[in-house]
Amino acid sequence: MRHDFSLNQTSRSGRPRRPIEIAMTPMIDVIFLLLVFFLATSSFQTVERMLPSGVSSLPESGGGDVEPPAEPTEDVIDQVVVKLALAGDTVRATVNDRELSDPSMLQAELLAISSIKADVPVIIAPEPNVRIAVAVRAYDDARLAGLARVYMAVHSGN
């Protein structure tokens, strides 16, 4: 018994085969629907750690001579950076590189800033060894002061 594996254009019954036609219209419709679905479900928001802030643009340690940024006046406040650090067992808070004598004064300081400019972005930058409860309390103080644009800074794992 011989088998012929040649590619002839006849079916088993001996009739000629019809060529296979691929319908492109339904395929294009499906691709279009997938495109619309992905566009509708995308959020197009900037990832928070990609937002520009004074914390993210700090120079690497050991860098060259870098001049400190000019102190903001009451007329022009671009952003407020609240840094939280541990000094022994107590938390040290600085607002735009100006150290507060007592961390409980943070809400009063933020309230004064919100009376000048309420839509200023506030960036809370806790050091990695600061407890999250302290950072959340600073966030709450900023929100209670009437500041709506409050962000948490993310430290890279370097």
Question: Domain segments of the chain: what residues?
Answer: 48-56+77-152
Domain boundaries 48-56+77-152, corresponding CATH code: 3.30.420.270
Predicted local distance difference test score (pLDDT) of residue 72: 47
Q: How far is CA 4 from the centre of its chain?
A: 64
The string of pLDDT tens digits covering residues 110-123 is 888 888 887 889 99
Predicted local distance difference test score (pLDDT) of residue 87: 83
22/10: higher pLDDT? 22
- Rounded distance between C-alpha atoms, residue 117 and residue 77, angstroms: 8
Cα separation of the two ends of the chain: 74
- Rounded distance between C-alpha atoms, residue 99 and residue 144, angstroms: 21
- Rounded distance between C-alpha atoms, residue 55 and residue 124, angstroms: 9
Q: State pTM to two decimals.
A: 0.51
The string of pLDDT tens digits covering residues 82-104 is 898 888 888 888 888 888 877 77
Q: Which of 89, 88, 107 is nearest to 147 (CA)?
A: 107
8 A C-beta contact, residue 59 and residue 66: yes
